[in-house]
Structure 1
């Protein structure tokens, strides 16, 4: 869908990965656990550390598109 993404496959603990991504000010992190895999959802977190809760992949893509479009208009 045209978004730049990186996957962190390191065998570090998830908390450490989230902390590092927050410190690096990564705009959004997607945490995909076993429950997310079963339900076909993702658990996005904003760079502020705010957990946005589980949502469908389509809903998250729409959220990103809306944010990108809003920045493009300015």
Structure 2
């Protein structure tokens, strides 16, 4: 699958092929049909979100909608 990956703060996202994740216990896998850029996404990408730190590389994203395609146990 393809994902926009943040590899370095204050740099453009990179379109990257990654393995499709498998949902774990209590999780679902969602095929994203629409997404938006939330102001917090921009702060995370700039490394300025003290309350929402990520470890790079990361695939940030908060606002999205889609269809559940797989479920984990529970």
Give TM-score scaled by structure 2 length: 0.24
More strand by share: 2
